[in-house]
Amino acid sequence: MASKPTLLVTTSTFPRWKGDSEPRFVYDLSRRLTETFNVVVLAPHAAGAKVDEMWDGMHVYRYRYAPAAWETLAYNGGISANLKQNRWNALLLPLFFIGQWWALRKLLKTYPVDTLHAHWLIPQGLVAALALWGKTTKPTLICTSHGGDLFGLQDAISTRLKCWVVQRCQAVTVVSHAMLAPIQALAGANPPPVSVIPMGTDLQQTFIPNPQVSRAANQLLFVGRLVEKKGLPYLLHALQQLLPTHPDLQLVVAGNGTAQADLIQLGESLGIGQHVTFVGRLEHASLVRLYQTSTLAVFPFVQAKDGDMEGLGLVMVEAMGCGCPVIASDLPAVRDVIRHGESGCVVTTADSAALATAIASLLADPTQRQTLSTQALATVRNGFDWESVTQRYQHCLQSTPSQPSMTEIIHAN
């Protein structure tokens, strides 16, 4: 362990305990990087989580920023969603930043950090840049943008802060090609190297087809946070249009979020409540079974009013890995995952009629569904399995700005 370089990972999304249903892609990547690095993780604390623990070879610290009952800014939908749901959460922002900055400074003194990997430009990238500001000897700073921080937060102050962060990184990664132009626009005249490297999914042992399980004939599946950019209202309207000709159709909604009550009410007002089941956010085992048994997985992504939209959409990869045919909206990031007519079906964004037409077409054509799922499986295994994704992050994190390997690298998915 001592011979390995030290990687300090900062993130606002990380499982709070074993079996937590919070998104785990930062955990999965960090755990796999322990083969190469001594990995230290800094994440926000939440009620019920440990402040300091060894977990799967990582030393995980969770910083306090308020009494436990008030630590509600992160998790359960994310910071942006929690701010929109409860404006009083904005009062926690200064404490959140200060708590993270203080804990990060302490860890930088405790560990001989070689590389600091900040997930999201704001807040982690900003806090990391501030913590390193003025230091004569400091680790390499690499920031990964996941989409919400780049496409959202479009006000003048946030944009200037993002520019400041990007220009102080030695390298930046984004999770889809759709994010290249926006990140380069922030970089100014002397941009850091930019790499396109997606987050990964376990397509070897977890998100895999199960030939022993039968697929339902009329079950649609939606997986994701219940927030504006996921576009679930359009799927609910599409379901209403489909029911006269497909009266047995059912929709399973796996996820939670700030819009859940409004979405349930919308379903009732459309007269489709008995055809929609909200099952909440699920652990991997239950989610995998839904992917393996559903007829179609549908992801009607849209661009939110504040500009936020999907940076990648790993739920599509998970479904495809389980052999579930996928329909998704035609957003730029979706094109990194789906080739229309080959590995999935892409429809016009924010168009419930187009969504209903695509669903009806695939419901009526089991041969086409099988063709799409077979081709999709090969596509995602080639570009999104954790084994290949981890190797690409290892290369990026181990390189230094002076090495030729850190010239601009754009990885094709």
Are 46 and 71 a contacting pair, CB within 8 Å? yes
What percent of the chain is predicted at pLDDT more than 90?
Answer: 81
Greatest pairwise CA separation for the chain in angstroms: 69
- Computed over every residue of the chain, the mean pLDDT equals 92
At 167, is the pLDDT very low, low, confident or very high (cuts 50, 70, 90)? very high
Q: In the prediction, which pLDDT does 411 show?
A: 40
At 408, is the pLDDT very low, low, confident or very high (cuts 50, 70, 90)? very low
pLDDT average, residue stretch 228-245: 97
pLDDT in tens, 48-66: 999 999 999 999 999 999 9
Range of weakest confidence among 74-88, 101-115, 252-266, 335-349? 74-88
pLDDT average, residue stretch 15-36: 94
DSSP letter assigned to residue 398: H
What is the set of domains in the chain, with CATH numbers? 6-200+385-406 (3.40.50.2000), 219-383 (3.40.50.2000)
Which is more confidently placed, 153 or 360?
A: 360
Q: In the prediction, which pLDDT does 150 show?
A: 92
Name 329's Cβ contacts closer than 8 Å, sequence gap at least 6. Answer: 231, 299, 300, 301, 302, 346, 347, 348, 349, 350, 355
Q: How far apart are CA 76 and CA 106, in angstroms?
A: 27
Are 226 and 259 a contacting pair, CB within 8 Å? yes
Are 326 and 252 a contacting pair, CB within 8 Å? no
At 74, is the pLDDT very low, low, confident or very high (cuts 50, 70, 90)? very high
Q: In the prediction, which pLDDT does 401 show?
A: 54
pLDDT in tens, 394-406: 999 987 553 333 3
Q: How far apart are CA 104 and CA 9, in angstroms?
A: 10
Which is more confidently placed, 194 or 80?
A: 194
**CA dihedral (258, 80, 393, 193) positive or negative:** positive
Could you tell me how many residues make up the chain?
413
**β-strands 38-44, 326-329 pairing:** unpaired
Q: In the prediction, which pLDDT does 2 show?
A: 54
Single-letter amino acid, residue 200: G
Provide the 3-class DSSP secondary structure of residue 229: helix
Are 60 and 34 a contacting pair, CB within 8 Å? no
